[in-house]
Structure 1
C-alpha cells in the first residue's frame, strides 16, 4: 500500500518571527543599496559638470596679455554740465517823444560825503513816468535845499545860479543825473559869500521838480584834513668856530 503523506503540525512562533525579520532585513538592504546607487549617480554628474567648467576657457589675464600690476580704474565723472551763459542783450533806451510835464518827473538827491569848508557837489537823479521825454533843467523847474532839524542851511531859492541850465532826457527805465554846486556855506537872500561855513555834520537834502512831490537824501560833511607844511631848516655856520690858517706847501 502506498505510504500516506505525513502532515506537519504548526511551527513554533519563533520560526515565523525569524522569517519575517529576514524578509524585512532583505527589503531594507535593497532600499539602502538603491539609495547608494542614486547618490553615486548624482555625485558623478556633479563631478562631470565641475570638470567641464574647469576645462572651459579662462578669462583671467595671462602673462602674455600685458604687464602685471593693478588695473587702473578710470573715475566716472559725476559733474553735470553747466548751461552756457547766454549773452544779455544791451538795454535799448527809448527816444524822447516830446517834453515832460513837471508832474511826470521825480527828482531824488543821492546820498554823499564831502569835506566841510569847500564847495559841495549835490547829485540829483531824475526819473520819469514815460518811456522818454525831454526836460528843461533850470532855476524855474528844479529846487533844492539843505537843512537840519533846526531849519534851513542853504537853498537854490537863495542861490538860483547853483542850478546849471540844461536840456536832459528823462526816462522811466534809467535815471538821468545832474549836479548842483553848494558853496558849503549858509545861504542868505543875496547868496553872499560872507556867511558862515556849514560845520561838519550830516545834513538833509530835499529836491523836487517844481509841481512834483519832493524826495529827500543826505549829505555828510566831514572834518577837512589840515595841510601838512614841511619847512626845511638850513644849517647856519657857527660864528665861534675858528678856522686854522692854511700854510702853503713851499717844498724843499
Structure 2
C-alpha cells in the first residue's frame, strides 16, 4: 500500500493520495467550523437580546387606620376670600304724612241753591238742593249737619218759608271736603208758608216765580229761581 503499483511514476500516485487526504480533511473540518461559528453567534445574540420585560408591579395602597378628628386651635393660614362690600342702600323715601285738614272758611266754599226740577205746581212738594264746593287748593273740614243747613223761599225781600221753622231737628256732621269736591244736600218743602215761631196759619203759594236761598252757617248762596205753575 505504501508502494504504489501501476504504469505511472510513483510521484503521481503520491500526489493523488495527498490531494485526496487534504480534500477529506477539508470536508471534515469545514462543517465543524461552520457549526461552531453559528452556535457562537446564536449564543451572542442570545446574550445581547433584551430580556423579556417584567410587568411593573403596582404598589399597593397602604391602609392607614382612621384617626379621630381633632379641633385645630391654630388660625387658618389660607387667605380669606376678598368680598366686595355692597353699596349702602338708600333708605326708602317715605311720603310725608298728609296734613291735617283745616276748618273751611266761608271764602273756601261756594254755596249754590237750586231745585230738582225746573218748575212745580202749587200742589207739589218741591225738592230743594244746596251744593257745597271746596274752591280752595287744600282739603278742609266743615260742619254740614242740619244745625248749619238752611233753605228759604222769598218773594223779593219777604221771607215766605224757612227749613228751620217748626219741625226743625238740628244735628251736627263734620265732613272733610277735598279741593274741587262738590257735596249736594237736599230737603223736601211742603209747599206751605211758615214763620220762625210757627204762630201764623200756613198757606199755599199762588203760581208765580219766587226765589230760594241756601246757607251753611254763615256761607250763603246767591238767589235761585223757584217757579210754580
TM-score, normalised relative to structure 1: 0.42
Larger Rg, first or second structure (1 or 2): 2
TM-score, normalised relative to structure 2: 0.46
